[in-house]
Homo-oligomer: A and B are copies of this chain.
């Protein structure tokens, strides 16, 4: 069995590690917050005394960190002590250009690398039902596949380096657009005197249907249970959506793509964050825009 190092043991990482430990993988873990590490020791995690400690005699290092700068710092710290052929799988959501830089650094040292951001959130991490959107080589993907299958229900090799991050950026930009669109439809419907339950019944079964309304309806008491029924406790926070849209915006700008809705969505969620509503679930954009 491959020996695994795991860096970043927060909400997502801790649950992903737990699933690996439950599948009897040996995992050595590191987090800047020692409390996060301690909580996993009873489950069988081996504690790394520092980042360099994690890099010794290891086959695969998985990172699950808040942003690309931190992922790069981690990589820079350990890269010289990794043996050739070690695989670095970054499951963080970071921007496409940074992901490509990390791939290049790994290639220069004869290390394998995958960008593999996830969808499915904390629930998906807990239940091992994440989706991994993966960029990198076939060889690296094959090496990682048994671990993807433990931590998730689906993984797709989207293409070469950076395509995992690119795919996630496209998906979350579309999610933001559809959620804002759903909100506008409900807000217009309300102002026109429509019963939101009846509007839901039509929209969720007609050409306007989308995940944002069918599975995550932003109106309290309408549709399946969602954060709207729970005072917009996330779920997936507006701050995280803003982070993902900022990654998408960087890609929009660097590729000179025309994407006015994605661009406007980034601004819209940015306003929500600036007005101290970033901790609410992202579906609260409907009320925010009312």
* Interface membership of A82, Cβ < 8 A: no
Q: Which residues of B contact A189 (CB under 8 A)?
A: 166-167, 170
Residues of B within 8 A of A262 (CB): 181, 184-185, 188
Contacts of A169 in B (CB 8 A): 188, 192
Q: Is A178 an interface residue (CB 8 A)?
A: yes
The oligomer's copy count stands at 2
Given contacts A96-B192, A159-B195, A170-B208, contact A261 B258 (CB under 8 A): no
Q: A158-B198, A210-B209, A261-B181 are in contact. Are A203 and B256 (CB under 8 A)?
A: no
Q: A184-B177, A192-B162, A194-B163 are in contact. Are A206 and B257 (CB under 8 A)?
A: no
Give Cα distance in the complex from A159 to B96, angstroms: 48
Please name all residues of chain B whose beta carbon is closer than 8 Å to the beta carbon of A191 when the two chains form the complex.
255-257
Which one of B170, B188, B248, B257 contacts A170 once the chains associate, using CB atoms below 8 Å?
Answer: B188
A187, chain B: closest CB distance, angstroms: 6
Name the one of B166, B202, B211, B212 contacting A194, with C-beta atoms under 8 angstroms. Answer: B166
Please determine whether B178 and A181 come into contact, CB atoms closer than 8 angstroms: yes
In whole angstroms, how far apart are the Cα atoms of A83 and B290 in the complex?
Answer: 45
Q: Could you tell me the distance between the alpha carbons of A259 and B119 in the complex, rounded to whole angstroms?
A: 28
Residue of B nearest to A258 (CB): B289
Asked if A202 meets B255 with Cβ closer than 8 Å, knowing A163-B194, A207-B119, the reply is: no
Q: Name the residue among A207, A210, A258 with the largest chain B CB count within 10 angstroms.
A: A207
CB of B258 within 8 A of CB of A158, answer no
Contacts of A174 in B (CB 8 A): 181-182, 184-185, 203, 208, 210, 213
Q: A42 in the interface, Cβ–Cβ < 8 Å? A: no
Contact indicator A156/B198 (Cβ below 8 Å): yes
Q: Does A252 lie within 8 Å of B201, measured CB to CB?
A: no
Known A158-B194, A206-B171; contact A259-B184, beta-carbon cutoff 8 A: yes
Contact assessment for A193 and B260 in the assembled complex, using a CB-CB cutoff below 8 Å: no
Instruction: Enumerate chain B residues within 8 angstroms of A180, measured Cβ to Cβ.
Output: 177, 261
Report whether A251 and B207 are in contact in the complex, using a CB–CB cutoff of 8 Å: no
- Is A163 in contact with B184, judged by CB distance below 8 angstroms? no
> Which B residues lie within 8 Å of A96 (CB)?
192
The minimal Cβ–Cβ distance linking A224 to chain B, given in whole angstroms, is 14
A188-B248, A261-B184 known; A208 vs B172 contact (CB < 8 Å) = yes
Roughly how many angstroms separate A177 CA and B202 CA in the complex, as a whole number? Answer: 17
Determine whether the beta carbon of B159 is less than 8 Å from that of A198: yes
A199 lies within 8 A of chain B by Cβ: yes
- Is the beta-carbon distance between B211 and A211 smaller than 8 angstroms? no
Q: Give A185 Cβ to nearest chain B Cβ, in Å.
A: 4
Residues of B within 8 A of A210 (CB): 174, 178, 209-212
Q: Which of A217-239 contact B (CB under 8 A)?
A: none
Contacts of A201 in B (CB 8 A): 156
